[in-house]
Amino acid sequence: MDVQIKKLLNHQISVEKVQERDGRGAITYEMENELPVDPTAVACYISGNVQMIRNIFGEEVVSTLTIFISGTEAAEVGLNDTNNAHKYRITLPDGRQPPILAIHPYYDDRGALHYVVVNL
């Protein structure tokens, strides 16, 4: 990703991976040696635009936030897989944790992951 574009990624979010969900819907986040793993800090740009999108189930939903993440950072935390949006929790800088509605990876002309758009 260009240095100019990286300068625009002036926000920071925390990303946690879901380890399992029990029969009642309670979520356990990633653990290591029976201790919770610290959330991963990811540089991004957050845009507060309202738009109609399709979620991972193909339903039309309203997205109120759009997050842009560089391809390398998204791949490091696993946010480049469109089918696994429900397996992550994002914490915004203000402490909110809205559900991930959709993940859209974008590739460059060589086929490398360029950036990822996450709709909340």
Share of the chain above pLDDT 70, in %: 92
* C-alpha triplet 41, 101, 53: angle, nearest 5°: 130
Note the pLDDT tens digit of each residue in 79-92. Answer: 888 887 888 889 99
> Domain locations in the chain?
3-13+43-119
Contacts of 13 (CB under 8 A, 6+ apart): 41, 42, 44, 46, 67, 90, 91, 92, 93
Identify the pLDDT of residue 55: 87
Note the pLDDT tens digit of each residue in 29-57. Answer: 776 667 777 889 999 999 999 999 998 88
pTM above 0.85, yes or no: yes
Please name every residue paired with 45 in a beta bridge, in sequence order, or none if there are none.
68
What rounded mean pLDDT belongs to the chain?
A: 87
Of 45, 48, 119, nearest to 88 (Cα)? 119
Cα dist. 106→12, 52, 53, 103 in Å?
20, 19, 16, 10
